[in-house]
Amino acid sequence: MSYPIHRPRRLRLNKIIRNMVRETHLASEDFIYPMFVTFGKGVRKKISSMPGCFQLSVDEIVKEAQEVYKLGIPAVILFGIPEHKDEKGSEAYSDKGVVQKAIRAIKDKCPDLAVITDVCLCEYMSHGHCGVIKNGKILNDPTLELLAKEALSHAKAGADIVAPSDMMDGRVAAIRDILDANSFEDIPIMSYAAKYASAFYSPFREAAEATPQFGDRRSYQMDPANRREAIKEVALDIEEGADIVMVKPAMCYLDIISDVKNTFDVPVAAYNVSGEYSMVKAAAKLGWIDEKRIMMELLNSLKRAGADLILTYFAVDAVKELRK
């Protein structure tokens, strides 16, 4: 049967009917809000390439976290900008590091907000890469020990979830082992399981002050042309103990999100990264697009593709839009 018996437009007639038959639903509980914590006090430094985002000192990030929680967003993920960097990334796993201080401060003032921590070394290394370097080569296995120490320091500070983003082989197992050995067996790991070597990260590198001083990250992050490899990477992370797996970036990787969701029976996160965010902001500033509609269309596409959790700098604005 076809027209005129079937008229699909009947179910698009007005907002009430459209909402009744909508297949994909976004809610505040879907979002994780990324935040950048830096040293100092009273710091609220604008990130020029990411309008609406800031580097925040611990006192300021607590205020921001409380506002996020009031909106019904269940979790934040923290990225640290240390005062000092070195070739061992020592502030990444220091008890006095900015992330460790921020975890304790947020959990003190907002205990029911889940605090996730990005576990990586790039922000803390003087060379800006995600691992230990020798003779110009990023070494995999020596890096694992430092990542494990960093994750443990976050757990000791009170983190609810740790999220390794480095893409070193075996890092999930190393982190799971050290957490379990120190009585943190209940701390989940959200792995950046399929993280691509993407050009969409450029604004983040300004935000986190983590631009590599030489070369690039293509020897450890995935080739954007590869699809099947993502399934292998995710399978390995789950085997090593990952509780949640992530695809990053999100917007150009909807096929990967869908593949992962359809292949594995674990929660899937998608990271709507800085470049995706900044493109929308820039086009909206020029008057070329409707920012709010584009934002919601983009986030719906991630949920529709299979993302259970969405890390996005749009989280606060999106929740406000959902409440209208």
Amino acid of residue 100: Q
For 272, residues 6+ apart whose C-beta sits below 8 A from its C-beta are 249, 250, 251, 298, 299, 302, 310, 311, 312, 313, 314
CA distance 19 to 25: 9
Beta carbons of 163 and 189 less than 8 angstroms apart: yes
Q: What CATH superfamily is the domain 25-244?
A: Aldolase class I (3.20.20.70)
For residue 209, the model assigns a pLDDT of 84
Beta carbons of 302 and 310 less than 8 angstroms apart: yes
Neighbours of 32 (CB within 10 A): 23
Q: What is the DSSP string of 17-66?
A: HHHHT-S----GGGEEEEEEEESSSS-EEE-TTSTT-EEEEHHHHHHHHH
For residue 95, the model assigns a pLDDT of 96
Q: Is 42 left (phi over 0), alpha (psi -120 to 50) or beta?
A: left
3-state secondary structure of 265: coil
For residue 195, the model assigns a pLDDT of 97
For residue 210, the model assigns a pLDDT of 80
Beta carbons of 299 and 314 less than 8 angstroms apart: yes
Domain residue spans in the chain? 25-244
Annotated catalytic sites, by residue?
A: 195, 248
End-to-end CA distance of the chain: 39
For residue 208, the model assigns a pLDDT of 82
Mean pLDDT over the full length of the chain: 96
What are the per-10-residue average pLDDT scores of the chain (324 residues)? 91 96 97 97 97 97 98 98 93 97 98 97 90 90 97 98 96 98 98 97 87 82 97 98 98 98 98 98 98 98 98 98 94
For residue 324, the model assigns a pLDDT of 86
CA max distance for the chain: 72
